[in-house]
Amino acid sequence: MKVVKGINPNIEKYYFDTVEEWLAFRKNHIGASDASIIMGVSKWKTNDGRIKTPLLLWKEKLGLDNINCDNSATRYGKRMEEPARQEYQKMVGDLFEPVCIKNKKYPHSMVSLDGLNVTEGRAVEIKNCSKEDHLLAKEGIVPAKYYPQVQMQSMVTELPYIDYFSFYNGEGVIVKAERDEEYQLHLIDKLNEFWNYVVELKEPPLTDDDLIEQGNEWHEIAQLLHDVKQQKKTACDKEKVLSEKLKLMSKYNNSFSKEFRYTCSISPGIIDYKAIPELSNRDLSEFRGKPITKWLLKKRLLKKAAS
């Protein structure tokens, strides 16, 4: 990997020797294509049919899920990127190179630009897109699913706009995506929030896209499990009441009657590590055990159909 200082003192340009090197670098940063996922407007799917949500992205960053998004559509996009860049260069009369950019202001963020010119005053995001998205570009509109991406690119490069270049059936359309400062402030908050989830090993909230609808058989099993849990809760509540009553009747003494014995034992309390001054600024993540997986069943109220 080679790092080159940009003309802007906040900017660094990264060049990678291998795809694996770039992927490892990307895993430890939030990329511009991740922004659409974090902002909840992406509908990109993995090869196994899952929509890429903040939770799935979080798992990817931590290496908790093997996510494969390589398919015929992504391969076509990569294959057509260079012809599209050549067409774009002809249209604007300048030369552009693909490059990865970081900005000192945003240490956990990076953007992989499809093209940046020599003066670093203009950048492009190339999309070999669908007919529908291309029609939007012809109307001067950046599709909503790409808006966070170009805004993050503008934010990191500190450029006043990014050229969104739509390429379809040999036709190129340039949409000047102006810097939206109000949106970028919101974007920064969401990116920071997501990265805190990564650093703290805390799962982001679930979205509707994280849930996969199942059939009647699944519902029957869920209902049975729900009923058992309710019975267990009722039994636990009853256990607490009877236990407290027996303690009072025993006057907190070890007691017995016939075949029953009721005794008390005392064990050491749990250590409060936060109360240890020497550990107040110590990163204890290296001492964590393996992640603990829990499943939680909740019953939600279904909306009644309008009559």
Domains observed in the chain: 2-208 (3.90.320.10), 217-259 (no CATH)
pLDDT tier, 70 (very low <50, low <70, confident <90, very high otherwise): low
Nearest to 127 by CA among 145, 109, 139: 145
Inter-residue contact 201 to 189 (CB < 8 Å): no
pLDDT for 267 beyond 90:
no
Beta strands, E only, the chain = 2-5, 11-15, 96-103, 111-117, 123-128, 161-168, 171-178, 255-257, 260-262
What's the pTM value of the predicted model, to 2 decimals? Answer: 0.77
Q: Looking at the predicted structure, is the pLDDT value of residue 79 above 80?
A: no
Residue 262 pLDDT > 60, yes or no?
Answer: yes
Query: Tokens 């270049």, residue?
Result: 165
Which pLDDT band, with edges at 50, 70 and 90, does 306 fall under? Answer: low
Say yes or no to pLDDT of 88 above 90.
yes
Helix axes 181-199, 147-157, angle to 10 degrees: 90
Structural contact between residues 207 and 57, judged by C-beta atoms closer than 8 angstroms: no
Average pLDDT over residues 262-267: 89
- Residue 284 — very low, low, confident or very high, per pLDDT cuts 50/70/90? confident
Question: How far is Cα of residue 127 from the mean position of the Cα atoms in its chain?
Answer: 22
Q: How do residues 107-147 score in pLDDT, each as one tens digit? A: 999 999 999 999 999 999 999 988 999 999 999 999 999 99
* Contact criterion met (CB below 8 Å) for 6 and 101: yes
What are the pLDDT digits (tens) for 174-212? 999 999 999 999 999 999 999 999 999 999 999 989 988
Asked whether 173 and 87 are in contact (CB, 8 A), the reply is: no
- The 10s digit of each residue's pLDDT in 16-56 is 999 889 889 999 999 999 999 999 998 888 877 788 899 99
Per-residue pLDDT at 303 exceeds 80: no
